[in-house]
Amino acid sequence: MKTTDSPPAGLAGGDGHRTVEKAGAPAGRPGRSAEGRVLNAFSHGMLVLWAVMVVLPLVWAVMTSFKTDRDIFSSPWALPGTLHLDNWSRAWTQANMSDYFLNTLLVVGGSLTGTMLFGSMAAYVLARFAFPGNRFLYFLFIGGMSFPIILALVPLFYVMSNIGMLNTVHGLILVYIAYSLPFTVFFLTAFFRTLPSSVAEAALMDGASHSRTFFQVMLPMAKPGLISVGIFNFLGQWNQYMLPTVLNTDPDRKVLSQGLVQLAVSQGYKGDWSGLFAGLVMAMLPVLAAYIVFQRQVVAGLTAGALK
């Protein structure tokens, strides 16, 4: 008696395996697509929540800067019935915000220029040239990022006092440059390593010196990274409060962050809240404008290293 064992369809080789694979493939797709939709909805929801948390305080501060003190406490979330522009003029003139603004522009402008110049030069050398101590210097800059500035305030105060740079604009500029250099060198070193070496080699073969190659060839190629780290340095230096409070006690040379604190406490128990919010918006506008103008360059600089 002859018995024939014929395996069921779908379990045998050949076409049976292909039938199982084709039949099983669509079964897993709805689950994955549903999981992707849930994850996408969750990520978009978190982004919307984060946007609300960031934008709402800014909009509320701008609205409050056009109200009177009575309107601020009686209807804090309502739109201002009348735009009280005198809050801005009072904060600009009577609270000396114009002097604080000018001092901040001088300090931040000088420190940002020095930070970007010296930081890009150091980063280029560390990224492109091999020499004894290269890695040590690189990790030394990285170690500077982890050093809390509050631990250096007391010795820094005496150092600045001994060299005659206490309560001076140029002294504060030098301190800001030293404070911002570690992050700048760390960021730009990684960025310069992503740039093609063939362009620099071609410039050197054409007779360009190392300095000319850096300033005329490599530095323009690093523009996205320079703008990105420049925005971060601008934010940190513009909003800096601890360093000028310790190293700059001269009333005529105070920066904007010190001026806002003085405006808040100068009225005693009365408090000029409308003028304070007007001064706050004045201090916020340059930073907000800089980010809006250069937002594409900031994103391009942050993603350039990952894409390459």
Q: Give buried/exposed letters for 137-172 (b at 16+ CB in 10 A, else e).
A: ebeebeebeeeeeeeeeeebeeebeeeebbbebebb
Question: From the CA atom positions of the chain, what is the Rg in Å?
Answer: 29
Contact 256, 96 (CB under 8 A): no
* CA pair distance 240, 178, nearest whole angstrom: 14
Q: What distance lies between CA 218 and its chain's CA centroid?
A: 23
Fold of 86-307: MetI-like fold (1.10.3720)
* CA pair distance 202, 191, nearest whole angstrom: 20
pLDDT tens-digit map of 42-70: 888 999 999 899 899 999 999 999 998 88
Q: Which residues of the chain have pLDDT under 50?
A: 1-4, 8-25, 306-308
* CA pair distance 102, 212, nearest whole angstrom: 34
Threshold 0.85, pTM exceeds: no
* CA pair distance 8, 225, nearest whole angstrom: 63
* CA pair distance 264, 91, nearest whole angstrom: 11
Q: What distance lies between CA 233 and its chain's CA centroid?
A: 7
The pLDDT assigned to 214 comes to 93
